[in-house]
């Protein structure tokens, strides 16, 4: 059974066994969150978002439409994800370019990930980084714009033989097709609360 704190505002979303959702979290209708996750206080998760198992989302994070988070990811406090490369008020793209974070990657506090960025498996993003390009698997990146500092020991795998320069120069971003161009607002769509017991 999942635990939803009574002060959280959770719409009709799929929330896995053992996941904890803390105070002042807002989860919009349609979001999918896996098992044994920890969704810390004051986070916002929009409806077209998929979060895997055993994911930690620290406080002050928003997961916007189009975001895909794989298993065992850590998202530090106040990390900013984005999904619209050229935002204008009241103008909505046909599809949002959500951030993709692959298995076991970690994002340091207050990092900013630009739209459509993919963070590779096991990668580590430093605190305060501004990530403007895809991050290869196992890379440790930091700075603004983020650059590769080194690779996580043992996690490099075939990434070692990839042409890093090409990787970093690859400006193609992943677009996550949005099935519905209506933006979700942050009001409550559904008053059904999930069980608040553990």
Ligand X SMILES: CC(C)(COP(=O)(O)OP(=O)(O)OC[C@H]1O[C@@H](n2cnc3c(N)ncnc32)[C@H](O)[C@@H]1OP(=O)(O)O)[C@@H](O)C(=O)NCCC(=O)NCCS
Q: Can you give the binding site for ligand X, defined by CB under 6 A? A: 76, 108-109, 124, 126-128, 140, 142-143, 149
Which residues in 102-137 are b (16+ Cβ under 10 Å) and which e?
Answer: bebbbbbbebbbbbbbbbbbbbbbbeebebebbbbb
Least Å distance between CB 192 and ligand X? 33
Closer CB to ligand X, 18 or 77, in the complex: 77
Closer CB to ligand X, 28 or 81, in the complex: 81
Q: CA angle at residue 51 from 61 to 121, to 5 degrees? A: 95
Closer CB to ligand X, 28 or 125, in the complex: 125
Least Å distance between CB 152 and ligand X? 9
Closer CB to ligand X, 31 or 140, in the complex: 140
Bridge partners of residue 140, in order along the sequence: 124, 150
Least Å distance between CB 125 and ligand X? 7
Least Å distance between CB 64 and ligand X? 20
Contacts of residue 148, Cβ cutoff 8 Å, sequence gap at least 6: 135, 136, 139, 140, 141, 164, 168
Closer CB to ligand X, 114 or 124, in the complex: 124
Provide the total of helices (H) and of strands (E) in the chain, helices listed first: 1, 22
Closer CB to ligand X, 32 or 56, in the complex: 56
Prior bond of 138 cis (ω within 30°): no
Q: Are the C-beta atoms of 16 and 34 separated by less than 8 Å?
A: yes
Least Å distance between CB 106 and ligand X? 7
Least Å distance between CB 184 and ligand X? 28
Contacts of residue 196, Cβ cutoff 8 Å, sequence gap at least 6: 3, 4, 5, 6
């Amino acid at each position: 059974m999942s635990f939803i704190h009574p002060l959280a505002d959770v719409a009709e979303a799929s929330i896995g066994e053992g996941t904890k959702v803390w105070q002042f979290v807002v989860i919009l209708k349609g979001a999918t969150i896996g098992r044994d996750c920890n969704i810390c206080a004051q986070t916002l998760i929009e409806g077209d978002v998929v979060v895997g198992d055993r994911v930690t989302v620290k406080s002050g994070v928003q997961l916007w439409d189009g975001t895909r988070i794989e298993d065992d990811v850590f998202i530090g406090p106040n990390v900013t994800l984005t999904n619209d490369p050229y935002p204008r008020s009241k103008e909505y793209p046909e599809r949002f370019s959500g951030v993709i974070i692959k298995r076991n990657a970690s994002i340091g506090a207050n990092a900013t990930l630009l739209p459509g960025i993919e963070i590779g498996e096991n990668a580590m993003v430093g605190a305060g980084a501004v990530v403007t390009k895809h991050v290869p698997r196992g890379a440790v990146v930091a700075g603004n714009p983020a650059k590769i500092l080194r690779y996580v020991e043992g996690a490099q795998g075939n990434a070692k033989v990839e042409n890093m320069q090409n990787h970093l120069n690859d400006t193609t971003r992943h677009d996550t097709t949005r099935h519905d161009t209506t933006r979700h607002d942050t009001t409550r769509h559904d008053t059904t609360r999930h069980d608040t017991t553990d």
